[in-house]
């Protein structure tokens, strides 16, 4: 409904969007790793206002993660080498999931593993649990020496893992891809052919920092994953490439700090976006981005998010 007020158009906008069969109240989620399991942030923001929460990656057994230092600030970015520290799927189900079940927003559980069988067993343990909207399949963490990252660099392995996960899980599957490959479209296509309901683009870019005083790496794991504004142009480009070549829903992420960044991803082809590193700077940034998207849509006279998805003009 549009009405005139003071010479300005006022429009009611609908922020609902769909991602691989999941209906989201708005297109802004929080990314895995930077939001924990939502407990700390729930004291600061209303989690019910988010489009969705993606949990920290869960593995079959507890993981201690990598040795410190684990975080290094860089110009326009952050290097991290956490190493998928988590309590394991059994403790997640017992201690973390009940908290998330209290909220009226999509809960997407990120899962990881060292081999395909690990992913399958985690998915089997999560099957049928209330309060889970989808699984994000993390085959792209660069901070582990074995496991999912190696899977994510191979189209054949991504296809196999996704296909077998579809056989044990009834949840929609969102495969999170690594940018550290030659052809992102090839890997995304393998995920789609394996049965993925959507893909996440992108995880962090491999990076390294050196302390010039002691001549040693600044990270305990030597290399880590670069996130933050520095990687946004790479992420937007990969979202656009996958969207224009494949008919697969995309969850866009990588360096989103404000609503204009989120809108870039949507115009490039993302059905929704996830906010990561920015949460560490401003815990309320996701809610601000939601309001920013709403204001943008009103200003442009756009009634629904679908009118923005993939609408970038390249000709």
Q: Which residues are catalytic?
A: 141
Paired sense of beta strands 52-54 and 106-111, if any: parallel
Alpha helices in the chain (DSSP H): 89-91, 97-100, 116-126, 148-152, 155-168, 184-194, 232-245, 259-268, 278-281, 285-300
Dihedrals phi, psi of 196, to nearest 5 degrees = -60, 140
Alpha helices in 14-96 (DSSP H): 89-91
Residues 109, 29, 25, 95, Cα dihedral to 10°: 40
Q: Calculate the alpha carbon distances from 21 to 106, 173, 238, 250, 251 in Å.
A: 12, 10, 22, 12, 12
CA 275 to chain CA centroid, nearest Å = 7
Q: Closest by alpha carbon to 108, among 199, 178, 184, 192?
A: 199
Dihedrals phi, psi of 155, to nearest 5 degrees = -60, -40
């Amino acid at each position: 409904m549009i009405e005139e007020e003071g010479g300005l158009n006022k429009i009611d906008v609908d922020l609902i969007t769909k991602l691989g069969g999941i209906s989201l109240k708005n297109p802004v989620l929080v990314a895995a790793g930077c939001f924990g399991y939502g407990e700390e942030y729930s004291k600061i923001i209303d989690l019910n206002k988010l489009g969705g929460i993606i949990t920290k990656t869960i593995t079959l057994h507890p993981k201690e993660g990598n040795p410190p230092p684990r975080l290094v600030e860089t110009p326009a970015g952050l290097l991290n080498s956490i190493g998928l520290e988590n309590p394991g799927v059994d403790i997640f189900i017992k201690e973390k999931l009940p908290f998330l079940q209290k909220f009226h927003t999509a809960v997407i559980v990120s899962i990881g593993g060292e081999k395909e069988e690990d992913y399958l067993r985690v998915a089997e343990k999560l099957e049928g649990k209330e309060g889970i909207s989808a699984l994000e399949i993390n085959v792209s963490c660069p901070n582990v020496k074995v496991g999912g990252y190696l899977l994510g660099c191979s189209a054949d392995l991504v296809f196999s893992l996704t296909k077998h996960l579809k056989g044990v899980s009834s949840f929609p599957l969102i495969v999170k891809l690594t940018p550290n490959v030659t052809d992102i479209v090839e890997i995304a296509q393998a995920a789609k052919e394996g049965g993925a309901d959507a893909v996440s683009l992108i995880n962090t870019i491999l990076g390294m920092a050196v302390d010039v005083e002691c001549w040693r790496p600044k990270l305990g794991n030597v290399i880590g994953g670069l996130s933050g504004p520095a990687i946004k142009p790479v992420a937007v480009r990969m979202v656009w490439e996958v969207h224009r070549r494949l008919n697969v829903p995309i969850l866009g992420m990588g360096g989103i700090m404000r609503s204009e960044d989120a809108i870039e991803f949507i115009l490039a082809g993302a059905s929704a976006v996830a906010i990561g590193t920015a949460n560490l700077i401003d815990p309320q940034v996701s809610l601000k981005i939601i309001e920013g998207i709403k204001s943008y849509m009103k200003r442009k006279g756009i009634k629904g998010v679908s009118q923005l998805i993939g609408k970038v003009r390249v000709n």
